């Protein structure tokens, strides 16, 4: 039980009553309390055995017999033994009546650890066993005295000494340490047992998504609300209550009356962006502290007293996702510092929950080319009690919110606790964005994690300009970006390529292209470098392939080229001993991540042999190396540089298989890893996949707005087709959304503006929010303190623990157990004494008969 304590209590239970602690500061309150103290009048009955003993005690008859004079020497000792036996019987009968009265009066002890520890039980058992062993060994070693009166008296004395010795050992080694321990636990003051003390209670509700789990036609939150309403109805008169959920900006305020608190808690709903229970409990504690200070100040009752018993009730399913582990809010120290505060955890979870969930949604592309397909991947997980068979469906949602299923439902078999499912989504849309969802068709008690929302951009193919001295030099790059069979069949590809010669580049308008590829141009003139530099600074992307013996370092080392290129070529280098291999550099880049996150692609890249490469000067200060040739000197292989609003990526080896050309440099073009490399390079240069469209609820979302498409006001369509308004300040180049706090689809459009700009995105619950994994008791102890918080699962258990916390531990069962023991001891002792007395009398009578 909790050990919170309150020193100041009401005399009358009213709000303005004077606290007892104000006038009785020197009076210790760590005493036993009686719930039915009026029944102590029954202690008068304890005198009944004394009265019966005095009235009905037997008086010996005086019989003159000469032989009795021979026993007169033993008369004194026999009389003392008889009086001792009668006194013991009398004491047992008095204690029996006293315990019966106390049990009916329901005594209550202050909350403490009254149970014996394991070593105290061990010493107690050893003392009992030792007493019996000493008695039997003593009888065995002593000279046998037979069954005579002298032998019985010797055994009685030995038995008395052994019992006294065992009792003394138990008192010194068990009772005395136990008493000192209980005294230490009761050293600080606490509340007396008065059930009408007003209570200041804060009810903290776990309003995370897992509380929507439905069992017996009630969600866990509804079950918690029912328990709280019933418990509020049982609070003493003059009590106050505050209601708190897990909203991050929620303020905990004591309501004016209990009906107002009930009305407030009945309106609670789960939130998709909950704060942690740690911080919610801390806010509740701070509210109690502030209210306690206000009550003390207004009532002038001093810092050690209070007009309320202060309690915090936390109603939760104990899901680990609702707690911060490790705790950073200092709850443990707060609860140790304020021992007068009691905290109760009410567990409303369900044992062995049944739940199927969809988590880990990801798309193969955040922006898709119209006519191509996108892979939608999610993880289906199930609890131990869940059926291993499930099914899911892929849904597209139009701007009006209408749903269209794509294909038939897909069956899913859970061979383990979770399995990953991939569904192909063909993109056939004239809109700039596609919105959809993937959903489990099976109905289970928790629906919040049965659906995952997604959004993706739709774009036309990237327009790429290929520039080479001869078109054959750019053929392999073109085949990788736009295969010949795709061109002939009209199949959509990421890029639509146009090839021109180096001489034509000066007369070509570069603004019509999303990216430019410069493939092994031997002697680009300064005009070309200037045009390319201007194009990149305006936001274009440039990919440079430098893998040819014909490249002139002088033409590539002009001032215009140096300002543009990540590094200036020096000349070709041959690997004589063994071929080199590409190795991704330890840097963060979309190009590098594509290889690092897929072991199969990385392994394929490592199979490519490089016999030659182009050595370069030291890279520019603002350039970074994405890949290196693993070999002597680890020369740069793939470099990147941001110039103005655009980017330049440079590859220092060949990308063709011409005889006497690229075939002497490497075998890259025969590996499918070149397709991945060029695909990622083009997306990086054009910013094709930079803008994400899928987020977690509560996550800040930044949406860049191009300068040419700016606007002043916008409308944000939220889940449920609800709209909110916003403004784009003139000094800002992007819109920051911080309140995407509901799962679903969002669409942002300019309001009363000709700007064609718009943005769509989706938000989903965090994967761990509905995992239904209970927090371990060890972690809970580290957060709140060991044995500092009581966990209950029902209203009856809560009432019992609250009564223990407020009144102490009721010892009615202990009194009844002691009463039975005393009654049996009295019965056995009386039979033993009377049988022992009758036995000598029978022997004496038998011996007198001739």
Question: How many CB atoms lie under 10 A from the CB of residue 709?
Answer: 13
How far is the C-alpha of 579 from the C-alpha of 584, rounded, in Å?
A: 17
d(CA 93, CA 100): 11
For 268-382, list the strands marked E by DSSP.
309-316, 342-347, 356-363, 367-369, 373-382
Fold of 199-350+779-809: Rossmann fold (3.40.50)
Q: Mind listing the pLDDT tens digit for each residue in 785-796?
A: 877 777 888 888
Predicted pLDDT of residue 256: 86
Domain positions in the chain: 36-105+815-850, 113-185, 199-350+779-809, 383-444, 462-686, 697-763
State residue 96's pLDDT score.
Answer: 75
Considering only 125-129, 340-344, 797-801, 828-832, which range has the smallest mean pLDDT?
828-832
Distance CA 451, CA 443 (A): 11
- pLDDT averaged over every residue in the chain: 82
CB 275 within 8 A of CB 248: yes
Tokens of residue 454, six digits: 């997604």
Q: Among residues 631, 634, 630, which one has the least CA distance to residue 616? A: 634
Measured distance CA(85)–CA(80) in Å, rounded: 9
Output the pTM of the full model: 0.70
Phi, psi dihedral angles at 664 (to 5 degrees): -85, -10
d(CA 621, CA 203): 59
Average pLDDT (533-547) is 94
Q: Is 376 exposed, middle or buried (0-12, 13-18, 19+ CB in 10 A)?
A: buried
pLDDT of residue 728: 93
**C-alpha R_g of the chain:** 44
Domains 199-350+779-809 and 462-686 share a fold: yes
The 8-class DSSP code of residue 400 comes to: T
Lookup result for tokens 């107002």: 260
pLDDT per position as a tens digit, 151-176:
777 777 777 778 778 888 888 888 88
Q: What is the pLDDT of residue 688?
A: 81
pLDDT at 243: 95
Q: Is residue 537 scored above 60 in pLDDT?
A: yes
Which numeric CATH code is attached to 462-686? 3.40.50.880
Separation between Cα atoms, residue 749 and residue 726, nearest integer Å: 10
Tell me what pLDDT residue 19 has.
Answer: 40
Exposed, middle or buried, 492 (CB in 10 Å: 0-12/13-18/19+)?
Answer: middle
Query: Does position 224 have pLDDT exceeding 60, yes or no?
Result: yes
Q: Is the pLDDT of residue 849 over 50?
A: no
With cut-offs at 50, 70 and 90, classify the pLDDT of residue 264.
very high
Confidence of residue 21 (pLDDT cuts 50, 70, 90): very low
Nearest-angstrom CA–CA distance, 772 and 838? 73
Residue 842 has pLDDT above 50, yes or no: no
């Amino acid at each position: 039980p909790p050990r919170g304590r309150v020193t100041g209590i009401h005399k009358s239970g009213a709000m303005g009553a004077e606290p007892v602690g104000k006038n009785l500061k020197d009076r210790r309150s760590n005493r036993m309390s009686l719930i039915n103290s009026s029944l102590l009048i029954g202690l008068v009955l304890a005198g009944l055995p004394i009265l019966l003993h005095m009235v009905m005690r037997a008086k010996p008859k005086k019989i003159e017999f000469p032989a009795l004079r021979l026993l007169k020497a033993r008369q004194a000792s026999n009389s003392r033994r008889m009086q001792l036996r009668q006194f013991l019987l009398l004491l047992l009968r008095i204690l029996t009546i006293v315990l019966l009265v106390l049990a009916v009066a329901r005594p209550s002890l202050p909350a403490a650890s009254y149970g014996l520890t394991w070593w105290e039980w061990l010493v107690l058992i050893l003392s009992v066993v030792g007493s019996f062993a000493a008695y039997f060994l003593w009888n065995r070693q002593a000279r046998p005295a037979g069954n005579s009166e002298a032998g019985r008296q010797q055994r009685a004395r030995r038995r008395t000494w052994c019992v006294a010795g065992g009792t003394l050992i138990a008192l010194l080694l068990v009772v005395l340490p136990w008493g000192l321990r209980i005294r230490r636990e009761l050293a600080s003051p606490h509340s007396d047992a008065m059930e009408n003390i007003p209570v200041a209670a804060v009810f903290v509700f776990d309003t995370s998504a897992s509380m929507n789990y439905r069992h017996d036609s009630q969600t866990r939150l509804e079950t918690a609300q029912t328990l709280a309403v019933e418990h509020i109805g049982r609070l003493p008169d003059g009590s106050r209550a505050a209601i708190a959920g897990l909203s991050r900006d929620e303020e905990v305020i004591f309501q004016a009356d209990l009906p107002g608190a009930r009305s407030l808690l009945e309106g609670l709903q789960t939130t998709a962006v909950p704060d942690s229970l740690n911080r919610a409990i801390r806010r509740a504690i701070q509210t109690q502290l502030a209210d306690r200070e206000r009550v003390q100040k207004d009532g002038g009752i001093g810092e050690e007293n209070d007009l309320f018993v202060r309690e915090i009730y936390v109603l939760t399913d104990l899901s680990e996702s609702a707690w911060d582990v490790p705790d950073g809010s200092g709850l443990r120290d707060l609860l140790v510092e304020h021992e007068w505060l009691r905290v109760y955890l009410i567990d409303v979870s369900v044992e062995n929950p049944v739940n199927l969930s969809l988590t880990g949604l990801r798309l193969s592309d955040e922006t898709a080319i119209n006519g191509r397909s996108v892979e939608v991947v999610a993880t289906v997980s199930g609890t131990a009690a869940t059926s291993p068979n499930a099914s899911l469906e892929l849904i597209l949602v139009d701007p009006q919110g209408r749903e269209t299923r794509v294909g038939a439902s897909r069956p899913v078999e859970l061979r383990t606790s979770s399995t990953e499912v991939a569904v192909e989504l063909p993109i056939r849309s004239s809109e700039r964005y596609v919105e959809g969802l993937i959903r489990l068709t099976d109905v289970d008690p928790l629906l919040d994690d049965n659906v995952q929302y997604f959004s993706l951009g739709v774009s036309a193919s990237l327009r790429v300009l290929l520039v080479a001295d001869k078109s054959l030099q750019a053929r392999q790059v073109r085949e990788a970006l736009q295969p010949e069979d795709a061109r002939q069949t009209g199949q959509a590809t990421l890029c639509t390529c146009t090839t021109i010669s180096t001489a034509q580049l000066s007369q070509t308008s570069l603004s019509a292209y999303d990216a430019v590829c410069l493939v092994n141009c031997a002697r680009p003139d300064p005009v070309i470098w200037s045009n390319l530099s201007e194009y990149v600074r305006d936001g274009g992307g440039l990919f440079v392939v430098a893998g040819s013996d014909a490249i002139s370092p002088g033409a590539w080392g002009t001032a215009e080229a140096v300002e543009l290129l990540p590094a200036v070529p020096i000349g070709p280098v041959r690997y004589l001993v063994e071929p080199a291999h590409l190795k991704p550099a330890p840097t963060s880049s979309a190009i590098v991540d594509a290889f690092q996150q897929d072991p199969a692609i990385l392994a394929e890249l490592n199979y490519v042999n490089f016999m030659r490469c182009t050595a370069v000067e030291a890279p520019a200060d603002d350039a970074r190396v994405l890949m290196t040739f693993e070999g002597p000197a680890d020369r740069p292989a793939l470099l990147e540089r941001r110039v103005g609003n655009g980017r330049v990526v440079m590859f220092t080896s060949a990308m063709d298989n011409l005889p006497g050309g690229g075939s002497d440099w490497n075998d890259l073009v025969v590996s499918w890893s070149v397709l991945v490399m060029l695909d990622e390079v083009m997306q990086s240069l054009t910013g094709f996949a930079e803008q994400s469209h899928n987020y977690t609820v509560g996550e800040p979302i930044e949406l860049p707005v191009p300068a040419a498409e700016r606007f002043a006001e916008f409308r944000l369509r939220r889940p449920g087709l609800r709209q909110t308004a916003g403004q784009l300040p003139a000094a800002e180049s992007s819109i920051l959304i911080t309140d995407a706090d509901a799962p679903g689809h969002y669409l942002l459009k300019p309001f009363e503006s000709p700007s064609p700009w718009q943005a769509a995105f989706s938000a989903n619950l965090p994967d761990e929010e509905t995992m239904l994994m209970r927090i371990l008791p060890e972690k809970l102890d580290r957060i709140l303190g060991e044995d500092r918080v009581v966990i209950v699962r029902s209203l009856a258990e809560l009432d019992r623990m609250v009564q223990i916390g407020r009144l102490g531990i009721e010892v009615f069962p202990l009194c009844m157990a002691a009463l039975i023991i005393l009654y049996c001891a009295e019965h056995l002792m009386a039979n033993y004494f009377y049988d022992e007395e009758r036995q000598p009398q029978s022997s004496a009578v038998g011996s007198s008969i001739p």
